[in-house]
């Protein structure tokens, strides 16, 4: 399957759960890290105007499928050529570039003064916030899984069906778990457990302290996207046009949403707020689902597959499509509030910080918008 991305990708500054112990500042990463609910900071409502555009490469198109991360006024984003970019949030000027020999399809994780991400050759990188390599670990299989953070550890999956938990200080292994097939998703973290989905059609819970598997719940089909963890349930999309809610103990399927047209693949990861789950699919729709009942709230039709994860801010949904459009929708009704046409398909998620909205496209453009006409 082409570019199964755990993200797919959406990223913003995330508040760590209360029992998490970050190295310094609040860590930032895919879908806000922790429970991966995709809840973004506040931003004034649209319209928005373009503040700046950053190009990953002036000479050629370089796809960006991982989401931007914003920390301490710096934007971090990685591209398919294998370059991690650090960009000034206010000006759009690059601060530094960290080049590698292999491409990135993951979203960076920023914790304290370090950045963590895996590449398509299976190398997991720890980079300082001034662009210097601190350590690397060879996971020996491509990494499409964006990392999550807990208790000074980073956790991610690989195409080799392994789940790594590394100590952030030196990259040493805390433990390595096994899955039945590729793990393209970012692990969600709640209650001291990592919840990992994959191409084996299982949703696994792993105790982070011990590395022991707590449960493996059956899914309707393979699940390239990540779960979103609510207090009593996990919500995740799968192939064959399904979105399911699994009880937090993994023992029960609470509901199954089956209104994806043509049983199309759900590659995106859900965002959840106000008891509504937002998720895109290969039926070219954005779906809004009642998290309590599994009933459809609304759908919004785009002209391309929706692989990008949505983020939610102030009762609004922010999501891109492979139709080159980025949409802002009303969370309750699905009404379109604003849209922007990018140069190429949008496969990654967005980030919001300091009243600025950022998202990339697959031509290597990173767009930054501010409120105003």
* Residues 317, 331 contacting (CB under 8 angstroms): yes
Q: Binning pLDDT at 50, 70 and 90, where does residue 18 land?
A: very low
Q: Is the pLDDT of residue 15 over 70?
A: no
Q: Binning pLDDT at 50, 70 and 90, where does residue 25 land?
A: low
Q: How far apart are CA 346 and CA 369, in angstroms?
A: 15
Q: How far apart are CA 104 and CA 117, in angstroms?
A: 8
Mind listing the pLDDT tens digit for each residue in 106-122?
999 999 999 999 999 99
Task: Answer left, alpha or beta for residue 267, where phi above 0 means left and psi between -120 and 50 means alpha.
Answer: alpha
Residue labelled with tokens 């022991």: 212
Q: Is the pLDDT of residue 194 over 70?
A: yes
47: cis peptide before it, omega within 30°?
A: yes
336-341 sheet: strands from edge to edge: 311-313, 316-320, 325-330, 336-341
- List phi, psi (to 5°) of 261: -65, 135
**Token couple for 85:** 């970019």
Q: How far apart are CA 121 and CA 12, in angstroms?
A: 26
* Torsion angle (degrees, nearest 10) of CA 174, 250, 260, 359: -30
Q: How far apart are CA 220 and CA 241, in angstroms?
A: 9
Mind listing the pLDDT tens digit for each residue in 237-274?
999 999 999 999 999 999 999 999 999 999 999 999 99
* Domain annotation for the chain: domains and CATH numbers: 11-44+60-283 (2.130.10.10)
**Token couple for 247:** 């009880």
Q: Is the pLDDT of residue 69 over 80?
A: yes
Nearest to 29 by CA among 114, 168, 152, 148: 148
Q: Is the pLDDT of residue 85 over 50?
A: yes
Q: Is the pLDDT of residue 200 over 90?
A: yes
pLDDT mean over 124-128: 98
pLDDT mean over 296-315: 98
pTM of the model: 0.93
């Amino acid at each position: 399957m082409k570019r199964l991305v755990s993200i797919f990708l959406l990223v913003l500054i995330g508040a760590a759960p209360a029992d998490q112990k970050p190295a310094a500042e609040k860590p930032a990463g895919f879908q806000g890290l922790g429970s991966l609910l995709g809840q973004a900071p506040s931003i004034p409502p649209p319209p928005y105007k373009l503040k700046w555009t950053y190009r990953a490469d002036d000479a050629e198109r370089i796809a960006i499928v991982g989401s931007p991360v914003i920390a301490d006024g710096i934007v971090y984003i990685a591209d398919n050529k294998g370059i991690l970019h650090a960009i000034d949030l206010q000006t759009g000027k690059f601060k530094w570039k960290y080049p590698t020999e292999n491409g990135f399809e993951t979203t960076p994780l920023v914790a304290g003064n370090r950045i963590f991400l895996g590449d398509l050759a299976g190398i997991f990188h720890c980079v300082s916030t001034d662009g210097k390599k601190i350590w690397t670990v060879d996971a020996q299989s491509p990494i499409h899984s964006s990392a999550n953070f807990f208790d000074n550890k980073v956790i991610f999956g690989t195409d080799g069906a392994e789940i790594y938990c590394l100590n952030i200080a030196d990259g040493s292994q805390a433990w390595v778990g096994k899955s039945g097939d590729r793990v393209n998703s970012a692990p969600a973290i709640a209650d001291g457990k990592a919840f990992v989905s994959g191409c084996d059609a299982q949703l696994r819970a792993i105790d982070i302290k011990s590395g022991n598997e707590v449960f493996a719940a059956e899914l309707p089909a393979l699940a390239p996207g990540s779960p979103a963890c609510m207090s009593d349930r996990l919500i995740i999309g799968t192939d064959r046009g399904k979105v399911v809610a699994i009880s937090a103990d993994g023992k029960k399927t609470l509901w199954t949403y089956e209104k994806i047209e043509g049983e199309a693949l759900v590659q995106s990861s859900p965002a959840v707020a106000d008891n509504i789950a937002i998720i895109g699919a290969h039926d070219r729709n954005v779906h809004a689902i009642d998290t309590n009942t599994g009933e459809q709230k609304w759908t919004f039709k785009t002209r391309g597959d929706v692989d990008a994860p949505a983020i939610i801010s102030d009762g609004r949904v922010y999501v891109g499509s492979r139709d080159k459009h980025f949409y802002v929708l009303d969370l309750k009704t699905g009404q379109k509030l604003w849209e922007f046409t990018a140069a190429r398909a949008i496969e990654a998620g967005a980030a919001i910080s300091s009243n600025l909205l950022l998202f990339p496209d697959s031509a290597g453009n990173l767009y930054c918008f501010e409120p105003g006409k």
